Amino acid sequence: MPQTSGKKRDPPICTANPSFLPFFVLKPKFTLLKEYKESSEFSLKSKIISAQEAVSKLQDGMTIMIGGFLSTGAPETLIDEIVRQGIGNLTVICNDTGVTGTGISKLVHARLLKKVITSHIGTNPETGRQMMAGELEVELVPQGTLAERIRAGGAGLGGFLTPTGIGTEVAVGKDLHTVDGKEYLLELPLKADVALIRGSVVDTRGNMLYYGTTRNFSPIMATAASLVIAEAERVVPVGEMDPNHVVTPGLFVDYVVEEAQ
């Protein structure tokens, strides 16, 4: 064994220029945290705006994703404001076109849509009537495929392969690929100019949680649009939500609108 003198050694001396040392070596953690919070990177500026201001950011002819499942979890306040402002010629990507009198059905009845990309229209007869009359273009997509196309858009993927729809109208015009002797359709990603979603609890920086099935398509839509506007059933200050309960982080959300009571 190496012999030790028992003499206490001096701590090593760093001869490097302190300006080159990692900042966390030179400053205590509480000082660092205070400086970080005061920096522009940690801005706590509220994202809350009015429904009128939020919808004024939309333009005729845009492609919009709207959350909701049979109007459950639909951003009703934002939809009502679109109708009020009369923004039209829209392409809407959604699970369904709502139930008559609620959700996306209000946009259909107001004739503000030129096209919908959706999984079913049966709960809103007006959608079917406009489609049959040639007044509204409807692209029907299997529900799981619709969800995955949106997710692919948000994840930056070029598409995905699925056997769903082989041998049906869904396959018309799409590329077929064979993998291990099995045929698949190539489904392309979906993206939007704007996503309108709704959260059960949203803080002022846009961190969102959803209760039960109100979640549906909103989390993936938040990743697949250039501008994301979240309607909040209840708004709370930053820090009140348990971070473990956050489903959609605020970094995906541009603006928050408090739901009309």
Position 26 in a domain? no
Q: What is the pLDDT along the chain (261 residues), one digit of tens a residue?
A: 445 445 555 544 444 444 444 444 444 544 544 554 555 444 578 999 999 999 999 999 999 999 999 999 999 999 999 999 999 999 999 999 999 999 999 999 999 999 999 999 999 999 999 999 999 999 999 999 999 999 999 999 999 999 999 999 999 999 999 999 999 999 999 999 999 999 999 999 999 999 999 999 999 999 999 999 999 999 999 999 999 999 999 999 999 999 987
- Predicted pLDDT of residue 261: 78
With CA atoms as reference, report the closest residue to 82 among 48, 46, 106: 106
Residues constituting the chain: 261
Contacts of 145 (CB under 8 A, 6+ apart): 162, 164, 165, 170, 187
What's at 5, amino acid-wise?
S
Position 240 in a domain? yes
With CA atoms as reference, report the closest residue to 113 among 76, 143, 82, 146: 82
Count of the separate structural domains present in the chain: 1
Beta-ladder partners of 167: none
Identify the residue whose tokens are 């809407």.
92
| 208-209 and 90-93 beta bridge pairing | unpaired
Range of the structural domain that residue 128 is part of: 51-160+189-258
Give the CATH number, domain containing residue 63: 3.40.1080.10
